[in-house]
Structure formats: C-alpha cells, structure tokens
Amino acid sequence: MDISPLQKARYEYQPKLPGMLRNGIAEISVQEGAATQSVADQDKIKALFPNTYGKPEITFVKGANTSAAKKQVVGVILSGGQAPGGHNVISGLYDALKATNPENKLLGFKKGPDGLLKNDYVEFDDKFIDAYRNTGGFDIIGSGRTKLETVEQFQTVANYAKENGLTAIVIIGGDDSNTNAATLAEYMAANNTGIQVIGCPKTIDGDLKNEDIEASFGFDTATKTYSELIGNIERDANSAKKYWHFIKVMGRSASHVALECALETQPNICLIGEEVAAKKMSLADITNQIADSVEKRAANGDNFGVAIIPEGIVEFVPEFSALIAEINELLAGEKTAQFNSLPDWNAKYEFIKAGLSADAFKVFDILPQGIQQQLFLERDPHGNVQVSLIESEKLFSEMVKNELAKRKEAGTYKGKFGAQHHFFGYEGRCAFPSNFDADYCYSLGFNAFMLIQYGYTGYLSKVSNISKPADEWVAGGMPITKMMNMERRNGADKPVIRKALVELDGKPFKYFEANREKWAVETAFTFPGAIQYFGPSEVCDRTTVTLALEKG
C-alpha cells in the first residue's frame, strides 16, 4: 500500500509514556489505594456487582514487578464511534504484552462487540501493528455499536473466549461500552471464568470524564481539527465580509466539543446545550440571542460572523424536546403508515395539526418547512425522530433570517444577511492523532496490560495529571463501578456510568461566559491552524483549553 510522507514519518514517532512506566516492565510495581464507592446509589450498585464492587484504586510506581508469570492471551475490541488514537491504544497494549513475554498473544476482534459474539478475530504480529502506529481511524479491526448486555450474549462471549484461551478482554469505548465492560467483568467473575475485563475511555464527545478520568481520548485531536477548520472559516469570513457561517459540530448530547472549539477560536456565538436547558431557553430566545449579535455587528458595518451550534442542541430546548415526544407518540405503531399514505405535505400538515397539542403545534409551526419535514422523515429503528440528523445549523440561520426581516421592518436592523452552513463531525474522528492523543492512547493501552498482568478486572485504564508533560503523568486504574449510578433507561432502572455534561459553574464555561459578550460584537477570532506533529513542545504537545482551564 502506498503511504503518505506524513504517515511514514508518524510511524517513526515514539509515543511518550508516563514517567513511572518508562523503566521497563521489570520496574513496574503496583500500589493499592483505599476501597472505592460508586458515585451514587451505592447499595444498588453493590448488590448488582457483588464480585467487582468496592475494589481499590490502583497506581503504578517504580519498583520490582511482582506480577505472576502467566501466559496472557488478550482479546481487544474497538467499540462505538471512531476517535483518533484507537490504533495507539492497541499498539501500547501490544508492546506491553510482548515486552512482558514474547509468547503472549493479542487477538483483535473485528467490528466491535460483534467480533466477540461471532468469534471473528485476527492475531496481531509486529508487521500488522507497525502499519497502524500513530495513525487515525479504527480500520485496524473496525468498530461497531452492538450492545453487550444480555446473559446470552455474555455466555457466547465467555464460550468463545474459553475456546481461544483468552485470559483477558480489553474494551475500548465510551460510557455505554465501559458500562458493558463492567457488566461483562462481573459476569466473568461470578462464573469463575478467570477472564479479566479492562476498559479504556474513548469518545470525541468528551463526555466520559469525571474526578478520575480527566479526558476521554480523541477529544483533543477532534476538537483541534474542527478548530483549525473553524479558524479558517473565520479568516474567510473576515476577508470576504459577506457571510454569517453557521457551523454545527459533533457531540451527540454534551456540548464539550462546541465549547472547546469556541475557546480555541473565539467565534461571535457558541450555543451550549446545557445552558439552554438550565435557563429553559426557547427557540425564540436562542434566535434573538444570535440576531442581537448580527444586528450589533451590522451597526458596526460587519455583516459577517461565525456561530457554533452543538449537534445535540435541540434536545436541550425544553419546548423542542416536548414537541419531539409528541411526534413520537403521533407516529407510534400503525400511525406511521397512515401518515405516509397521505397524498401530499398539505394533507400531512393537517394531520399533524390535528394530532399535536396546541403548545407543541405552536413550536412546530415556527420551524422552517424543511425542518418540519425532517422531523417526519428520519426515524430510528425504535421509531423515534433522530434528533442528531436535524440540521440545526439551518434551523437557526433560517429563524434568524426571519427575525432580522421583522427587525428590518421595525427599522432597528439595516444590515445584509447571507448564511453559509457547515457540519463538522466525521472530518475529525479519524484524523492522525495529535501528539497528546498519540501519547495518551499508547499509555492507556500499555497501562491496560499492566492492570491485566497484575490480575485486576472491572477496571478502567486510568492515566491522570495529563495537563502536565507526559513524564509527570500518573498511570493506574479505577474500578468502573466507582463511576456508576442508577439511571432510567428504556423504562427500567439500569446501572450506568454517569455521562459528564458541560458544568455551568466549571472553569471552561465560566471563561467563555466572561468573554462571549465581547466576542458577540467584536471580531475577536483566533486561528489555531493545523495540528503540528514536529516542532517545539509548546506547539506540538499542547492539550485542550478545556483541560488547561479545568486543571490550571
């Protein structure tokens, strides 16, 4: 296969490990901390995880390696959406496993959890791994979103694992995948299989973080990639001076990605879903907030700007989520077929008008027709509206346009408004990992093997102090049950890892809040440029602004 010069150069990059993991396998010792408790619902979580609950925090330190000599056969999967650095988790795991004992084996199960259920795997060797070091993507073995949750699934996984002589399984995934890792670990322990399960924290969304996990991998590279593009658009906007750019960025639910991109690029507007929900903002409130910025900038002769919209925004607007709930009811069961058989949009519109409550219809009626139709076209396998497919960047630009037309009539707005729309998501998920993600991911994988080697199960690989240079990073592990609480899912109380939303009293949001009024009116854009891999450390090893503010 032909490779690009950058890929070739990246093969040579040696990821930085935390200081305490650098002295060779023989010099890695373990320290156990105090017993842990789950973040909430302790009695319930303890009852559901009798074999894996309450275990101690683990820290690796320099000292004699006292782990048992045992041949390890480890299975690994990538689970969920792609995130830069996944290949390095696998290469770190592979290197630690082979350095411990060249007879050890690493099996990569293909297409996520499906690989474990179908026994579809490949055995890694040096040549295989070397072709993926420091590269983006999950194409080394693929990924998938199948949930591992039923006893039958766990039995299948355990049977194939025994057949292949697996001693451990590593699940590289987000909050749901690591919740499944905890449940699988408990199943394996309860059934005395001897198979350990370790998780690694992945997701570009940045919502798998807590007092133990400072960041999920991929967030750094993805936000730097989007920020580069947003900065480029800002420069274009400031050069042409004729467009407002509405830019939606990924983040299925939490607005961490949008906030980080705003801190990097200082746009005129950035919506934060968590704030919209806390302040119970309506669509009209949001529209007015953006229109005010457009109007004030126009008064200064600046008929251009940039607005960042988080992908999950609409679910945070109370009136919009109420509308979606009613639409789901309206189309439940056979009513979808009835709706689809109506001859044209006028007939469908009348059906909707008759079926929605007056309040919900009022919200529906102010939406642009394209968005109204999207609400009825896109359904997920459970029959629900797929909110992530709603083009909210177009929704808000259209609503702002209508609002500005009113203001023009009233004589308060005299500018010109032309909009461009963008959606940045897939562009960032498979980028070459930044040095930070390359180092962090390699360390997570290496560390995951040390947890296996020391016999731990139901743990998340933990590398902390990551706002500091890598030699000061702290490697260890945390029981996944410590991060869990009970939440209502599909009509039942389930033990899950708590998702981290943007904290409105956290330093990143506070910094944004303190500056956004100025950014809304002035042209205060900043241009981060492309991720740099070679050069001074302050340019190449920089973490996210979010992490720097949180830990600074």
What is the set of active-site residues?
A: 205
Q: Measured from the CB atom, is 206 or 528 closer to ligand FBP?
A: 206
By C-beta, is 113 or 174 nearer to ligand FBP? Answer: 174
* Cβ at position 257, least distance to ligand FBP in Å: 7
Count of residues in contact with ligand FBP, rule CB under 6 A: 13
Residue-wise DSSP of 257-279: HHHHHHHHH--SEE--HHHHHHT
Shorter beta-carbon distance to ligand FBP: residue 23 or 386: 386
Among 388, 443, 457, 461, binds ligand FBP (CB under 6 A): 388
d(CA 434, CA 134): 9
Rule CB under 6 A: is residue 137 a binding residue for ligand FBP? no
Binders of ligand FBP in range 296-315 (CB under 6 A): 311
Task: Give 332-380 as a DSSP string.
Answer: TTTHHHHHHTSSSHHHHHHHHHHHS-HHHHHHHHHS-HHHHHHHHH-B-
What contacts 417, CB < 8 A, 6 or more positions away?
A: 244, 294, 298, 303, 400, 401, 404
* Closer by beta carbon to ligand FBP, 203 or else 293: 203
Residue pair 294/244 in contact by the 8 Å Cβ criterion: yes
Question: Which is closer to ligand FBP, CB of 204 or CB of 549?
Answer: 204
- Phi/psi for 309 (5° steps) reads -120, 120
Nearer to ligand FBP, 264 or 315 (CB): 315
Among 81, 92, 305, 477, binds ligand FBP (CB under 6 A): 81
Candidate ranges 75-83, 444-452, 483-491, 538-546; the one touching ligand FBP (CB under 6 A): 75-83
Q: Is 124 helix (H, G, I), strand (E, B) or coil?
A: coil
Q: Binding to ligand FBP (CB under 6 A): which residues in 250-269?
A: 250-252
Q: Compute the residue count for the chain.
A: 552
The rounded distance, in Å, linking the Cα atoms of 100 and 113 is: 27
Nearer to ligand FBP, 267 or 428 (CB): 428
Q: In the complex, what is the shortest distance from the CB of residue 119 to ligand FBP, in angstroms, rounded to a whole number?
A: 23
Q: Where are the beta strands (DSSP E) in 42-92?
A: 56-62, 73-79
Q: What is the DSSP letter of 379?
A: B
Number of H helices, E strands in the chain: 23, 16
75 contributes a contact to ligand FBP by CB under 6 A: no
Q: Do 226 and 434 meet the contact criterion of CB atoms below 8 Å apart?
A: no
Q: To which residue do tokens 């229109």 refer?
A: 291
- To ligand FBP, the closest distance from the beta carbon of 330 in angstroms equals 25
Separation of alpha carbons 521 and 305, rounded Å? 9
Q: Which region among 31-39, 76-84, 105-113, 491-499 touches ligand FBP (by CB under 6 A)?
A: 76-84
- CA pair distance 212, 497, nearest whole angstrom: 12
Q: What is the 3-state secondary structure (H, E, C) of 163-206?
A: HCCCCEEEEEECHHHHHHHHHHHHHHHHCCCCCEEEEEEECCCC
Q: Is 172 in the site for ligand FBP (CB under 6 A)?
A: no
Judged by CB, which is closer to ligand FBP: 183, or 255?
A: 255
For ligand FBP, which stretch binds (CB under 6 A), given 118-126, 130-138, 246-254, 496-504?
Answer: 246-254
Contact segment (CB under 6 A) with ligand FBP among 57-65, 80-88, 161-169, 188-196 equals: 80-88
Is position 327 an interface residue for ligand FBP (rule: CB under 6 A)? no
Question: Hey, is 127 helix, strand or coil?
Answer: helix
Q: Does 201 bind ligand FBP (CB under 6 A)?
A: no
Does 228 contact ligand FBP by CB under 6 A? no
Instruction: Decide: 124 and 108 in contact? Cβ < 8 Å.
Output: yes
CB of residue 316 to ligand FBP, shortest distance in Å: 14
Among 75, 80, 144, 528, binds ligand FBP (CB under 6 A): 80
Tell me: does residue 220 bind ligand FBP (CB under 6 A).
no
CB of 320 to ligand FBP, least distance (A): 17
Tell me which of 18, 174, 201, 305 binds ligand FBP, using CB under 6 A: 174
**How far apart are the C-alpha atoms of 206 and 259, rounded to whole Å?**
11
Closest CA to 198 of 497, 453, 484: 453
Please, how many CA atoms are within 13 Å of residue 463, restricted to the half-sphere of its CB? 34
Q: How far is the CB of 173 from ligand FBP (least distance, A)?
A: 7
Cβ within 8 Å of residue 238, ≥6 positions away:
304, 523, 525
Judged by CB under 6 A, the residue of 21, 204, 371, 483 near ligand FBP is: 204
The reply to whether 356 sits near ligand FBP by the rule CB under 6 A is no
Cα four-point dihedral sign 110, 113, 118, 124: positive
Binding site for ligand FBP (CB under 6 A): 80-81, 83, 174, 203-205, 250-252, 311, 388, 429
